[in-house]
Structure 1
Amino acid sequence: MKKIAVVLSGCGYLDGSEITEAVSLLIALNQAGAEVSCFAPDIEIPAMDHLAGQASGDKRRLLVEAARIARGQVQALDKLQTKDFDAIAFPGGYGAAKNLCNWAEKGAKCDVNPEVKRVITEFHAASKPIGAICIAPVLLARVLGDKKITITIGDDKETAAEIQKTGAVHEECPVDDYITDREGKIVTTPAYMYDDAKPNEVFKGIFGLAHELVEWA
Structure 2
Amino acid sequence: MLASCGPALRTALRRAAPGGLASFHCSARRLRAARVAVVLSGCGVYDGTEIHEASAILVHLSRGGAEVQMYAPDVPQMHVIDHSKGQPAEAESRNVLVESARIARGKIASLAKLTTADHDAVIFPGGFGAAKNFLCCISPVLAAKVLSGAEVTVGHEEEEGGKWPYAGTAGAIKELGGKHCVKEVTEAHVDTKNKVVTTPAFMCETELHNIFDGIGAMVKNVLKLTGK
The two structures have a TM-score, normalised by structure 2, of 0.78
Which ranges in structure 2 are unaligned for 5 or more consecutive residues? 1-32, 157-165
Q: Aligned AA for 1:176?
A: T
Aligned pairs for 1:45-64 (under 5 A) are 45=77, 46-57=79-90, 58-64=92-98
Find out whether 1:35 has 2:67 as its counterpart. Answer: yes
Q: Which residue of 2 aligns with 1:181?
A: 191
- 2:141/2:172 contact within 8 Å kept: no
How far is 1:102 from its partner? 3.3
- Highest relative contact order (Cα 8 Å, sep 6+), 1 or 2? 2
Aligned pairs for 1:7-46 (under 5 A) are 7-45=39-77, 46=79
Q: Which residue of 2 aligns with 1:108?
A: none
Q: Aligned in 2, Cα 1:102/1:186: closer, same or farther, shift over 3 Å? A: closer
1:88 to 107, 122, 125: 122
Aligned length: 183
How far is 1:90 from its partner? 0.4
- 1:189/1:205 contact within 8 Å kept: yes
1:193 to 203, 209, 213: 203
Equivalent-residue separation in structure 2 for 1:53 and 1:73 (angstroms): 28
SS at match of 1:59: coil
How far is 1:85 from its partner? 0.4
Find out whether 1:164 has 2:198 as its counterpart. Answer: no
User: C-alpha deviations, 1:84-104, integer Å up to 9, x for none?
Assistant: 10111000001112111233x
- 1:191/1:197 contact within 8 Å kept: no
SS at match of 2:74: coil
Aligned pairs for 1:205-216 (under 5 A) are 205-216=214-225
Equivalent-residue separation in structure 2 for 1:92 and 1:50 (angstroms): 16
- 1:15/1:47 contact within 8 Å kept: yes
How far is 1:136 from its partner? 1.3
Q: Which residue of 2 aligns with 1:129?
A: none
RMSD in angstroms over aligned alpha carbons? 1.0
Which ranges in structure 1 are unaligned for 5 or more consecutive residues? 104-134
User: C-alpha deviations, 1:98-132, integer Å up to 9, x for none?
Assistant: 111233xxxxxxxxxxxxxxxxxxxxxxxxxxxxx
Q: Aligned AA for 2:69?
A: S
The two structures have a TM-score, normalised by structure 1, of 0.82
- 2:136/2:142 contact within 8 Å kept: no
CA radius of gyration, larger in: 2
Q: Which residue of 1 aligns with 2:150?
A: 149
SS at match of 2:168: helix
Equivalent-residue separation in structure 2 for 1:213 and 1:98 (angstroms): 26
Equivalent-residue separation in structure 2 for 1:79 and 1:59 (angstroms): 24
Equivalent-residue separation in structure 2 for 1:198 and 1:157 (angstroms): 18
Q: Aligned AA for 1:181?
A: D
SS at match of 2:94: strand
User: C-alpha deviations, 1:116-170, integer Å up to 9, x for none?
Assistant: xxxxxxxxxxxxxxxxxxx4111111222x2x11001112442111111111111
Q: Aligned AA for 1:65?
A: E
